[in-house]
Structure 1
Amino acid sequence: MVKSITARELRRHWVNHHEIALLDIREEGPYAESHPLFAISVPVSEIEKKLPPLVPRLSTPIVVYDNGEGYAERATARILALGYRDIAVLEGGLSAYALVGEVYRDVNVPSKAFGELVEAINHTPSLTARDVKNVLEDSESDVAVLDARRFEEYSTMSIPRGRSCPGGELLYRFFEAVPSPETTVVVNCAGRTRSIVGTQTLINAGIPNKVVALRNGTIGWTLEGLELDTKKTDRVSQPSAETSRKARQYATSWAEHVGVTLIDSSQLGRFAAESEDRTLYLLDVRDPEEYALGHPAGFSNAPGGQLVQATDEWVGVRGARLVLYDTDGVRARMTASWLLQLGWEVYVFDERSTVPDGLPVPGGPAWNPPQLARITIDDFQNLPGPKTVVDLARSPVYRKGHIPGAWFASGPELARDLRTVPGDGPIVLTSPDGSVVAMNIEDARESVSRRVLYLVGGTAAWVAAGHALETESRWLSLPIDVYKRPYEGTGNARKDMQGYLDWEYGLVAQLANDGVASFHVVPPVRKTSNLQ
């Protein structure tokens, strides 16, 4: 029998810095409406896919919860089947937790709340969209605009004269982008967090330039009725040896001030040897393109700016140990300086050392797709009689294109909603690559008396075989699987954008009332740097 844990006991793990992973096993939509601070989103239908990288150690204490939907029993069975050994259900679920702790909206909340705390404590300088526009239009102004988001977000929409320089790259590429100390620098993102953290990164490092954030990012720009650019591709280039050396001096000075610890090969080996008893994340914080050209075995790519902005997308165990890697001595130090303030135990692998071969990393969770009920594209085409296709793609992916006639279904509610599928012929499950349906085929087969099969390779196999997709939607389940972020893409409603900003402004008060964050903002050195 799976044990239970109370909300108060769970919160004591966070306060005492003990390892624990809290899984919200609902869809992302309900999760984004309300969840505890350190909960991570792992829908019950995607446990086999999402959980292993987020929780790599099988003996990690894991807590699951829902909000009365009845997913907990299914979730614990699937987690146990992966080999995890320490699982508990949150007593009373989300509603019981809300009686003793704060619950939060949106996603990546710890990082966003921390960003608001950084601004409140450091009084991070910012300008309104109108003020920035006036500066940009002043022919005598010397100003550079650095967009701290991922390149894909920047290319979708950006403010005039902006260049892509993701947050983890800001100091690393800064002196290549802004050679003159007289240039005013504007850092922007879509909302607030990456603008604030990016601006404060440069201020903390002690660069001589005036640096300000675009207040409220592209949301603020849009709410002022100003026009955004689209499909821009301007990137700040890789630094030269000289500007990289200069950036490293600044990064080293700040990292030492914050207390970032460097480790060498032997210490990394010891951490790896202890990873059966202590969760260890090895993270390469360089740009994805650099990572793809080559990286140390065992290190996952987590670009530094995004790792600070959305730590819970890579690290699922609060209280775990993190080791960051780069080749330049800048990006890992600056990223670690923020993660340390976010309450993580984090180390930087000294770029002058060599990552040892064959690190003794323990075996992680294992899952093998079932061999029963699988069919190929040819089998699918040859199925006799009428058949019904049910698609477990994320709803935005489903809307863009799916096998003709396919119904959309929610993964967590698949067993329930399959009972409403019209007809009496076989049901064929698909998903983008076939992995999610393979994970859920057993639950699906047990829920209905009809024959249920899954398509090997999923919708990608259908397309690869030369077949067309359609966009007409058929909703077997409500599309609550994805939270529509009001700061991504274009065409967001004004009320949603303003509501998002209003929510962010209140996060510092929520943190204070909650009392479990263990954040600590280190103020910058209040003097002019002598680094050259």
Structure 2
Amino acid sequence: MTDPIRTIDAAGLKAALHDGNEIALLDAREEVPFDARHLLMAACVPLSRMEMLVDACVPRRSTRVVWCDDGEGLAERAAKRMASFGYTNVSVLAGGIAAWEAAGYRIYSGVHVPSKAFAEVVEHQAGTPWITAEELKALIDSKADIALFDSRSFEEFHENSIPTAMSVPGAELVYRFADLVPSPSTMVVVNCGGRTRSIIGAQSLINARVPNKVVSLKNGTQAWHLAGYPVLKGSTARPPAVSAAARAAARAAADRVAARFGIARIDAATLSKWQGESNARTLYVFDVRDPSEYRTAHLPGMKNVPGGQLVQETDRHASTWGARVVLVDDDGVRAVMTAHWMKQMGWDAHAMTVDLMEHTCVTGDWKPYVLGLDGVTVAAIDAQSLQNRMQAGGISVVDLDWSRDYRDGHIPGAWYGIRARLDAILPQLPKTDTVVFTSSDGILARLAALDAKAMTSAPVVALEGGTAAWRKAGLPLEQGATRMATEPDDIRLRAREQAGGVEEAMKAYLSWEIALAEQMAADDDQRFRIMAG
């Protein structure tokens, strides 16, 4: 018999957030309900995907963890499951979000709120200069001497961008600046989709004391769209390889930033010491280089999160407040620029530069450690056999992929569902059918198959390799939101993805972001320490 999960009341949680010790506050709901209302310091870790996320975002098993929800019962389920994986200090917020609100504490909407609020506070306190979309359009039309850099990920840039812009993700701006802007008279404009990365990108260059005039584009590509200007799709403009001279100039700028902002550079011996202490204090180690560089060569065990993205969505990757954070690069620039923002967000952040030629490196993408699958056998079926069985009948396929990806293409006849709601999905299927679970790569499908075995007498299997294996086999796909066994509330759609009212959604989003600065002034849970550049 397992021990009951402890509870903590709202006042106790408030005190815990301020006692100086590590704490991970996790919300067990899907992203859409989380987006509607949640606690500022909470990270969205849905119960449906917990095993795939929690080892990376809460790596230390003795971390003080508090789960919360909005009365759905998900927090207690998540806490019990987490405890079963060896976490020893797990609690649930008694009464959930409603109790926190009833105690007089603030509730927030949106996702990645600490990061987005941080940028608003930076703009307010640092006085980050900006121009409007109309002003940018006039500069472009007059062929003024400007450089326009989009500081989002390349994938986001490729999806929608402003004409003449180049993709230069946030941590790359200082690193590549000397090659891209050889003249000090060139005006530099940094944009993103909205506000956060525009502000942080522009202020990064200002903090690095480049000689140029630097501004952010107020409200980013959304402002450009709202002004009625054309938005490009499919742009591929990217910087060339960094020259030796630009690399040296960037390193000198980063050294100055490190000195002014007190960013410590650590060596391999220090990292090894901290890794040895990681059972007592949480340690996050992030390789902040470009993903293509990471895939070519990286040190084993280091997760790749490009620096700009880490600042943009810190709670997604580092959920334990009070932890140590080490940012790693091979150039002495990108780690420092990322660390100087992380430190101002309230993290104990450090930079480390490695010479990859001196280490045994590995290649490929980072893969999370998935809890609950060690030593477990799950019945599986390959893609071609599944198609043959489906043609014969007696098979129900349940796709647990992201709802956006399900709509883009899924196995014909498959149902969509969220894993945490199997109790609502299974009764919708013919009782005599074999249930086959699939997901993007098959991992979530295996976890669901294990869950379902205890919930149904029907045979349960997982598609080997998931829907990716089905695609690779050249088998047909179906598109659209067909056979939705549960509500698709796993992903909050961006304004541009809305079926209608896109402009209204953009205006609402931008107003929400701008309001965060004032809200932070009245919230003592945030840990921002903005420093003069």
Give the TM-score of the pair, scaled to structure 2.
Answer: 0.92
Matched, 1:399 2:407: yes
After TM superposition, give the deviation of residue 242 of structure 1 in Å.
1.2
1:135 to 139, 152, 159: 139
1:336 to 336, 339, 353: 339
Q: Which amino acid aligns with 1:498?
A: K
Per-residue CA deviation, residues 346-405 of structure 1 (Å, 9 max, x unaligned), is: 1112557998889xxxx9874326425443446543487522211111111111111111
Q: Which residue of 1 aligns with 2:478?
A: 470
Structure 2 vs 1, CA of residues 399 and 278 (structure 1 numbering), >3 Å: closer, same or farther?
A: same
After TM superposition, give the deviation of residue 490 of structure 1 in Å.
11
Q: Which residue of 1 aligns with 2:429?
A: 421
- The count of residues paired between Structure 1 and Structure 2 equals 519
Deviates more, 1:280-289 or 1:507-516: 507-516
Matched, 1:441 2:424: no
Q: Which residue of 1 aligns with 2:464?
A: 456
C-alpha distance in 2 between matches for 1:311 and 1:488: 23
C-alpha distance in 1 between matches for 2:189 and 2:67: 42
C-alpha distance in 2 between matches for 1:177 and 1:492: 38
Q: Which amino acid aligns with 1:287?
A: D
Say if 1:262 and 1:347, in contact at 8 Å, map to a contact too.
yes
Q: Which amino acid aligns with 2:107?
A: V
Per-residue CA deviation, residues 68-114 of structure 1 (Å, 9 max, x unaligned), is: 11223321232123222211111111111223422222211111000
Q: What stretches of structure 2 of length at least 5 have no aligned partner?
A: 362-367
Structure 2 vs 1, CA of residues 297 and 501 (structure 1 numbering), >3 Å: closer, same or farther?
A: same
Q: What stretches of structure 1 of length at least 5 have no aligned partner?
A: 525-532
Matched, 1:24 2:27: yes
Deviates more, 1:127-136 or 1:58-67: 58-67
Matched, 1:36 2:47: no
After TM superposition, give the deviation of residue 142 of structure 1 in Å.
0.9
Matched, 1:517 2:526: yes
Say if 1:176 and 1:238, in contact at 8 Å, map to a contact too.
no
Structure 2 vs 1, CA of residues 365 and 80 (structure 1 numbering), >3 Å: closer, same or farther?
A: farther
Structure 2 vs 1, CA of residues 170 and 147 (structure 1 numbering), >3 Å: closer, same or farther?
A: same
C-alpha distance in 2 between matches for 1:92 and 1:240: 57
Structure 2 vs 1, CA of residues 484 and 15 (structure 1 numbering), >3 Å: closer, same or farther?
A: same
Identity of aligned residues (%): 43
Q: Which residue of 1 aligns with 2:129?
A: 125
Say if 1:126 and 1:214, in contact at 8 Å, map to a contact too.
yes
Matched, 1:116 2:120: yes
Residue pairs, 1:107-506, within 5 angstroms:
107-139=111-143, 141-351=144-354, 366-368=371-373, 370-377=376-383, 380=386, 381-382=388-389, 385-422=393-430, 424-472=432-480, 473-486=482-495, 493-506=502-515
Q: Which residue of 1 aligns with 2:517?
A: 508
Query: Secondary structure in 1 aligned to 2:200?
Result: helix
C-alpha distance in 2 between matches for 1:201 and 1:60: 33
Structure 2 vs 1, CA of residues 165 and 264 (structure 1 numbering), >3 Å: closer, same or farther?
A: same
Structure 2 vs 1, CA of residues 366 and 402 (structure 1 numbering), >3 Å: closer, same or farther?
A: closer
Query: Secondary structure in 2 aligned to 1:89?
Result: strand
Say if 2:379 and 2:462, in contact at 8 Å, map to a contact too.
yes
Per-residue CA deviation, residues 431-481 of structure 1 (Å, 9 max, x unaligned), is: 122211211223323334444333232222333344211125111111111
C-alpha distance in 2 between matches for 1:27 and 1:94: 14
Give the TM-score of the pair, scaled to structure 1.
Answer: 0.92
Q: Which amino acid aligns with 2:373?
A: N
After TM superposition, give the deviation of residue 195 of structure 1 in Å.
0.5
Say if 1:15 and 1:518, in contact at 8 Å, map to a contact too.
no
Say if 2:129 and 2:215, in contact at 8 Å, map to a contact too.
yes
Say if 2:264 and 2:351, in contact at 8 Å, map to a contact too.
yes
C-alpha distance in 1 between matches for 2:291 and 2:393: 47
Residue pairs, 1:87-98, within 5 angstroms:
87-98=90-101
Per-residue CA deviation, residues 265-309 of structure 1 (Å, 9 max, x unaligned), is: 221121111011111111111111111121222221111111111
C-alpha distance in 1 between matches for 2:455 and 2:82: 20
C-alpha distance in 2 between matches for 1:14 and 1:262: 28
Q: Which amino acid aligns with 1:346?
A: A
Matched, 1:64 2:67: yes
